[in-house]
A and B are shown apart, each in its own frame.
Chain A
């Protein structure tokens, strides 16, 4: 049901230079579980944009509950992915942001306008379904 996007690099053991992108029907799923340096964040942005076009994705779900910090760079990456996916006819939802991260982001001055968020994966999936991101395998019973 899940398919790892065919990309060399992160399949090698110990190589964390790429964040894996999972494909489920016409949805792309990303769970960010490492403290990303800037280039890694940019690579994810490029990989996702490329994957959206390649598979004709209708939705992108980015799960960030493991992120203990979102600074202006990572925040900008999330905003960029959202706007790029929208232009490519896919909806992006960012899910699972820790409350402390949300509080800090607002104080930092980054309100992530234009980025759709949901509390958890379940709610995020439902948002994507409503947005028309239904892939044949995408809906969870």
Chain B
């Protein structure tokens, strides 16, 4: 996979979630995603950015313009140094939450993108990679 452009945004407080949404929208427009696809990736970004604050204690996201030889896409890499996720498959289940939300964030975000992966080590942090191909 070739990364031809990258931008990093800090996610520390609530207003940063709005900032992430705005920048992801701008990239998705530039990449000429359809309106529905733009909305999906922006919504996924919003869920994951909020998770980064609530569960990760803050972190950052990298926006990447990627290509796999056949397609171009927008990749979002969320990283935090929080407590980590002990059971990822449980965390992905709809309705499961350790917070006060609906438990739709992680599983919902996964459904809204083309490729999705989570790496997490207890005590070290979490890295979520979400890619939407055009």
- 8 A Cβ contacts from A16-37 to B: 35-37
Interchain CA distance A37-B21 in the complex, whole Å: 10
Cβ contacts under 8 Å, B36 to chain A: 99-100, 103-104
Tally of A interface residues using CB under 8 Å: 23
Q: How large is the interface on B (under 10, 10 to 19, 20 to 34, 35 or more residues)?
A: 20 to 34
A108 (CB) vs chain B CBs: closest residue: B108
Cβ of A68 under 8 Å from chain B: yes
The reply on B85 being an interface residue by CB < 8 A is no
Q: How far is the CB of B39 from chain A (nearest CB, A)?
A: 4
* Assembly CA distance A119 to B10 (angstroms): 37
Nearest CB of chain A from residue B71's CB, rounded to whole Å: 20
Q: At the interface, is chain A mostly helix, strand, loop or mixed?
A: helix
Contact across chains for A107 and B42 when beta carbons are under 8 A apart:
no
- Tell whether A109 pairs with B108 under 8 Å between CB atoms, given A76-B102, A104-B43: yes
CA A39 to CA B107, docked complex, whole Å: 23
Complex Cα–Cα for A39 and B105 (A): 18
Shortest distance from the beta carbon of A67 to any chain B beta carbon, whole Å: 10
Distance A36 CA – B104 CA, assembled complex (angstroms): 19
Offer 23 A-B interface pairs, CB within 8 angstroms, sorted by A: A37-B15, A38-B14, A38-B50, A39-B14, A68-B42, A69-B42, A69-B46, A71-B43, A71-B50, A72-B47, A72-B101, A72-B102, A73-B50, A76-B101, A76-B102, A100-B35, A104-B36, A104-B40, A107-B40, A108-B47, A108-B111, A109-B94, A109-B107
**What 7 new A-B contacts, CB under 8 Å, besides A37-B17, A68-B42?**
A71-B47, A72-B47, A73-B46, A99-B36, A100-B39, A103-B36, A109-B111
Interface residues of chain B, those whose CB is within 8 Å of chain A, are 14-15, 17-18, 21-22, 25, 35-36, 38-40, 42-43, 46-47, 50, 94, 101-102, 104-105, 107-108, 111-112
